[in-house]
Amino acid sequence: MENTNQKPGCQAGQNKRKVELLAPAGGMNQLIAAVENGADAVYLGGRFFNARMNAENFSEDELKAAIDYAHLRNVKVYITMNVLIKDEELSDAVNHAAELCSMGADGLIVQDLGLADAVRKTLPELPLHFSTQGTIYNASGVRTAARLGFKRVVLARELSIHEIKEITKDSRCEIEVFVHGALCICYSGQCQLSRSIGGRSANRGECAQPCRLPYKDEAGNEGYFLSPKDLCAIDLLGDLVNAGVSSIKIEGRMKSAEYVGTVVRIYRKYLDLALRGKSYQVDPKDQEDLLQVFNRGGFSQGYLAGQPGQSLLSGRIPKHQGVLVGKVLQRPKEKDLVDISFTKQLTLGDGIEIHGREINSNILTYYRDMGKKVARIGDFKGDIRKGDLVYRTSSKTLTGEIRNTFSRGTGQSSRTIPVSMKFQAHVGQPASLTLAEGPNTVFVASQEECQQARTISLDRETVQRQLEKTGGTPFFPSKIEVEIGDNVSMPLSTLNLMRREATEKLAALKTSHRSHPSFDMPKYPPLKDALVKDLPDDLLVLPPITKGKEDQWLSRNPTKTDVMVNNLGWIEKIQENGKKVFAGPGLNIYNGAAAQALTNIGVVPASPSYEMAQSDIPLMTTEFPIKAKHLTDRKGKKYTIRKNSWGDKWIITVCEPADKE
C-alpha cells in the first residue's frame, strides 16, 4: 500500500470514547454489506435531492426497508439531501424530509442553508448534519454551523489531523471526517468545473467528474493532472480517535456491495484496536484487500498527514488499477494465451488487465501453472509484449468471501444483538417472558395458566435451552434468568410460542415509525427579493477559502471595514469586531430561505451562489500545487491556473478556447 508520510504503525491513546464507523450505501445490497461487516451507521440517498443522483439510490419502500433493517441491528441511518435547492423546490424538499423523519431516519445530511433552516423549524426532532459540501475548515466555521442549527459537521477533506484536533477542542458539534475513498481535487461545495464543461452541476448532484479526464498542459503534455488517488487512512485511526472526532466516514455510494463490505470489515477491525488503545501494524493481507477492491494508482493519506504534493495524483490511470501480480514473458503459439511471471496466485474468474502500449482486459478463463512462478493465462487479445505489467482488477476469492456476508438477503443475518431474558412460571398463573435490549423492553404472557405437574415438571435447563433458540432473528440471549415454582408444568410449544412472540414484539418496537409530522411551511421571500442591492464602496471581499496564510494574517490584523465573506469561517470573528458581514457567492445562497437563515444570524445576504453565474468565476480552488499554468480539455476549452495572492492555493478559471487564440 502506497502512502504519503506513512508512520510504521499506529499508537492510539487510552480513549474509551465511542467513535462511529460510517459507511456508504448506494443500494440495499450495499447497506446489508455495511451492516453485516460492522458499520455503526450508514448514509444513503433517496431518489431526490442528493449529491449522488447517478447511484442506484432507494425508492420510498426501499428506504423504509433499509432503515428497519439497520435499526433492528442498532445501526443508525443518515439520509443525504446534500444539494442546493431552488425556491420552487423547497416545499417538496421539506415534505420529503418529513417522510424521512416518519420512517425513522436518524439524521439528514444537508448542504443548503435554506433547507436546513426550514427543516429545523418544521422538524426539530430530525438532527441536521452539515455536508462536506459546506466547506467547513476551521473551528469558527463549526461554531457558526451550530448557530444555524447543525448537530454535526462533516469537515473539508483538506485538513491535517493537527488541524482537526484544534477544531474538535471546544466544538459544539459532532465532527465527522472522511478516512477512505475518492478524493476531490477541489474543495467540496466550491467546484464549478463540471457545470462549466457540460452543464452538470456538482452542487446539484450531477457531477460529471471532469477531474478524472485527461488534459494537455501548455507544453502539449497530456495527463490526468486533476485526478487524485483514493484516500486511505487505515494507519491513522488512533490519531483520529485521539483528535476527538465523533465519526469516521468511508466514501463510496457509487461503489459495489463487495467494496463496501471489504472496506467496512477492515476498518472495523483496526478502529476497534484504536478504541482499545492498542498499537497496530496493518496486516499486509488487509492492505492488499483494500487495494484490490478499489484504488487509483495506490492510496494517499490525503491531507491528514500534511501537504502530500504531487504524490496525491493517481498517475496515468484515473480508474481502478487493481493489484500488480506479474509481468508478461512471451506470447506462446497458442491463440490468445500469454505467459507471465507472477508474484501473486491467480484464480479462474479473476479480472485481469495487461498494461502496455494499450490496456487489454478480460476475465481469467484459462490458467496453467508451469512451475517456477510462471503461468500461462488466457483469453487475451490485442498488442501484448514482453515486459507488459499484469494487474488483477478483481479477485474471485475475495469477492466470494465478502458476498457471503450480504447475499443471504434481509431475512438472514450474522449480526446479532444481545438481549436479556427473564422467564417466570408458577402454578395457577400465566407464564411470563420479558425481553430487554438497551431502552427497549417487551413482555409476553402465556394464554393458559401453568398447571401442577403430574409426572415431569418444567426445569431450568429445558427452559434455557428453548429460549436460546433465537435463530432466524437478529437477537441472541446474553443473559437468561429463570424463575420456576415447584412442580410446574407447561407445554414446550407454549414456551416456544412465547419466545417467538417476544422477539417479534421487540423487533417491531425497534423498527417502529414515527407518525408523519404535520407542519406549516415557513414563509420565505423569493431569492431575488432577499438579496440587498447596495453594497459599501470600501467593502473587503474574502475568497471562499482563506485557510492557511490568509487566515493567519486576518487573525493578526482585524479588519477595519465591513466584509463580504464566502465561507462561514470568519463570520463570528468579524461580528465580534463590530463590523457588518455580507454573504458572497461562495456561501451558495440558492434560495430565499438560505438568505433568511443567514439574516437570522446577522449576516446580510448580498450575492447568489456561483451556481447562478455564467462566467468570470473560480471553477476550482485546491490545496494541490498544480504545476501547469494552462490546461486544455478534449474539446479545446482552455483553463488558466494561478496561485492566490498568498501562494498557498491554486485557482482554476476558464479562458478562451484554444482555437481562438
Cβ atoms of 640 and 630 within 8 Å: the answer is yes
Query: What is the amino acid identity at position 84?
Result: L
| Predicted confidence (pLDDT) at residue 522 exceeds the cutoff of 50 | yes
Q: Given pLDDT bands bounded at 50, 70 and 90, which one contains residue 329?
A: very high
Question: Higher pLDDT residue, 406 or 516?
Answer: 406
| Predicted confidence (pLDDT) at residue 393 exceeds the cutoff of 90 | yes
Q: What is the pLDDT of residues 195-215, one digit of tens each?
A: 988 889 999 988 999 999 999
| Radius of gyration (C-alpha) of the chain in whole angstroms | 29
8-17, 304-313, 338-347, 469-478: range with lowest mean pLDDT: 8-17
| Predicted confidence (pLDDT) at residue 331 exceeds the cutoff of 50 | yes
| Predicted confidence (pLDDT) at residue 517 exceeds the cutoff of 90 | no
Q: For residue 452, list its beta bridge partners.
A: 488
The per-type count for the chain, helices as H runs and strands as E runs, is 17, 33
Q: What is the structure's pLDDT at 656? A: 61
Q: What is the structure's pLDDT at 376? A: 97
Question: Higher pLDDT residue, 7 or 316?
Answer: 316
Q: What is the pLDDT of residues 268-297, one digit of tens each?
A: 999 999 999 999 999 999 999 999 999 999
Q: Given pLDDT bands bounded at 50, 70 and 90, which one contains residue 170?
A: confident
- How large a percentage of the chain has pLDDT more than 90? 88
| Predicted confidence (pLDDT) at residue 659 exceeds the cutoff of 50 | no
Q: How does DSSP classify residue 153?
A: E
CA atoms within 13 A on the CB side of 198: 13
| Predicted confidence (pLDDT) at residue 390 exceeds the cutoff of 90 | yes
Q: What is the structure's pLDDT at 413? A: 72
| Predicted confidence (pLDDT) at residue 167 exceeds the cutoff of 80 | yes
- How large a percentage of the chain has pLDDT more than 70? 95
Domains of the chain, start order: 20-187+229-304 (3.20.20.70), 323-406 (2.40.10.170), 417-510 (no CATH), 527-655 (no CATH)
Report d(CA 93, CA 119) in Å as an integer: 9
What's the distance, CA 128 to chain centroid? 16
Q: For residue 314, list its beta bridge partners.
A: none
**Taking residues 397-405, what's their average pLDDT?**
94
**Taking residues 596-615, what's their average pLDDT?**
95
Pull the grid cell for residue 85: 435547492
Q: What is the structure's pLDDT at 165? A: 98
**Taking residues 564-587, what's their average pLDDT?**
97
| Predicted confidence (pLDDT) at residue 117 exceeds the cutoff of 80 | yes
DSSP characters over 162-226: HHHHHHHTT-SSEEEEEEEE---SSPTT---HHHHHHS--GGGT----GGGS-EEETTS-EE-TT
Q: What is the structure's pLDDT at 661? A: 40
DSSP characters over 360-412: EEEE--EEEEEETTEEEEE---S---TT-EEEEEE-HHHHHHHHHHHTT-TT-
Q: What is the separation, in whole angstroms, between the first and last Cα of the chain?
A: 44
Report d(CA 173, CA 188) in Å as an integer: 20
| Predicted confidence (pLDDT) at residue 14 exceeds the cutoff of 50 | no
C-alpha pair distances (Å), 98 with each of 28, 65, 112, 515, 521: 22, 17, 16, 10, 11
Q: What is the structure's pLDDT at 364? A: 97
Report d(CA 527, CA 529) in Å as an integer: 5
- Residue environment code for 619-635, b if the CB has 16+ CB neighbours within 10 A, otherwise e: bbbbbbbbebeebbbee
Residue showing cell 492555493: 649
Residue showing cell 478504541: 275
Q: Mention every residue, 6+ apart, whose C-beta is less than 8 A from residue 596.
A: 114, 117, 524, 525, 530
The angle subtended at Cα 124 by Cα 152 and Cα 38, nearest 5°, is: 45
C-alpha pair distances (Å), 597 with each of 116, 148, 525, 572, 619: 8, 7, 11, 15, 26
| Predicted confidence (pLDDT) at residue 579 exceeds the cutoff of 70 | yes
Q: How does DSSP classify residue 457?
A: P
Q: Given pLDDT bands bounded at 50, 70 and 90, which one contains residue 658?
A: very low
**SS3 for 297?**
coil
Q: What is the structure's pLDDT at 4? A: 36
Sign of CA dihedral 168, 173, 174, 179: negative
Residue showing cell 431474558: 421
CA atoms within 13 A on the CB side of 103: 27
**Taking residues 622-649, what's their average pLDDT?**
96
Element (H, E) at 142: helix 139-147
- The phi-psi region of residue 504 (left if phi > 0; otherwise alpha if psi is between -120 and 50; otherwise beta) is alpha
326-340, 396-410, 478-492: range with lowest mean pLDDT: 396-410
Q: What is the pLDDT of residues 61-97, one digit of tens each?
A: 999 999 999 999 999 999 999 999 999 999 999 999 9
Q: What is the pLDDT of residues 431-466, one digit of tens each?
A: 999 999 999 999 999 999 999 999 999 999 999 999
| Predicted confidence (pLDDT) at residue 411 exceeds the cutoff of 60 | no
Report d(CA 67, CA 76) in Å as an integer: 8
**Taking residues 347-362, what's their average pLDDT?**
96
Cβ atoms of 565 and 582 within 8 Å: the answer is yes
Q: Given pLDDT bands bounded at 50, 70 and 90, which one contains residue 49?
A: confident
Question: Higher pLDDT residue, 393 or 335?
Answer: 393
